[in-house]
Amino acid sequence: MWHKKDTAFLSKEQAAFLNRLQRRKNAIHGIQWVLLIGFFFLWEISARLGWIDPFIFSQPSRMLAAGMQMGKDGSLWAHIGTTLWETVAGFLLGTLLGTATAILLWWNRFISEVAEPYLVVLNSLPKTALAPIIIVWLGNNQTSIIAVALLTSVVVTVMGVLNGFLQVDTEKIKLIQIFGGTKWQVLKKVVFPANIPCILNALKINVGLSFVGVIVGEFLVAKSGLGFLIIFGSQVFKLDWVMLSVVILAVLAALMYQGIAWIEKKCLKWQQ
């Protein structure tokens, strides 16, 4: 990030280039906000003018009223807290276990080649299809929901991180080996640092996958959480609850994604 006071140390061409970049960034953010606000405005107007049925499609004002009512009695915060805890737990477990498994497969190529077809099959298999089986195994509890979120993200993490490990420049690895470096030193000094962007990219993907796993689990077994609120609201035709929950999920996912992006920026700055 640069500031206008920094332009004193730059040439006119460099300052003009940075100004163009800043204007472009501001324009992108401005258009994003206009599109978001315009979408909700059009939604509200369409419901008020009768273009859509507010009972079926809800509307922002009704969602806001429902959110304020549920916020006052504390039920909304309980649902948000439950879903957020389950998502963060599944997200962290999936990332850590997936990265550790990728390291193991990189370390032992024999195990990697044996496991490759199984990873491909597991990656292709719809993880939500296994959710009922996991619930039978682990029971009707929060552990099952976290396990579904873990299963949804872990295979993608393994394949993504392992692929990054295998594409590290072999010349750098050979250089360390020539000077007597061990495999652990190769991993620590070359492979892992080179794949920090790959791991952070896996984190970004896991945000969405973890939310998907948690919501599927909550559909099936939860007694609280935004997934429970969605399924219960649809059953009793409280579509305001359903749409409010969907919007909150979108906000939570965006906040988690921005958190990962902030961490990525700090890590890349530290590497430089």
Please give the full DSSP string across 104-165, using - where no structure is assigned: HHHH-HHHHHHHHHHHHHHHHS-GGGGHHHHHHHH-SSHHHHHHHHHHHHHHHHHHHHHHHH
* pLDDT tens per residue, range 220-259: 887 888 999 999 888 888 888 999 999 999 999 999 888 8
Q: Do residues 12 and 75 share a domain?
A: no
* pLDDT tens per residue, range 241-252: 999 999 999 999
Domain count, the chain: 2
Q: Do residues 21 and 65 share a domain?
A: no
Q: Do residues 14 and 106 share a domain?
A: no
Q: What is the pTM of this model?
A: 0.82
How many helices and strands (H and E) does the chain possess?
13, 0
Which of 13, 29, 52 delimits the end of a domain?
Answer: 52
* pLDDT tens per residue, range 90-131: 999 999 999 999 999 999 889 988 988 888 888 888 877 888
The predicted pLDDT at position 34 comes to 95
Q: Do residues 145 and 186 share a domain?
A: yes
Q: Residue 181 is inside which H or E element, if any?
A: none
**Tally of residues, the chain:** 272
Q: Do residues 164 and 259 share a domain?
A: yes
Which domain CATH number covers 92? 1.10.3720.10
CB distance 266 to 89 below 8 Å:
no
Distances in Å between the Cα of 14 and the Cα atoms of 10, 22, 52, 272 are: 6, 12, 51, 21
Q: Do residues 123 and 170 share a domain?
A: yes
Q: Do residues 46 and 72 share a domain?
A: no
Q: Do residues 135 and 202 share a domain?
A: yes
Model confidence at 203, in pLDDT bands (50, 70, 90)? confident
Domain that holds residue 70: 59-271
Q: Do residues 141 and 125 share a domain?
A: yes
Q: Do residues 127 and 196 share a domain?
A: yes
Q: Do residues 41 and 171 share a domain?
A: no
Q: Do residues 265 and 226 share a domain?
A: yes
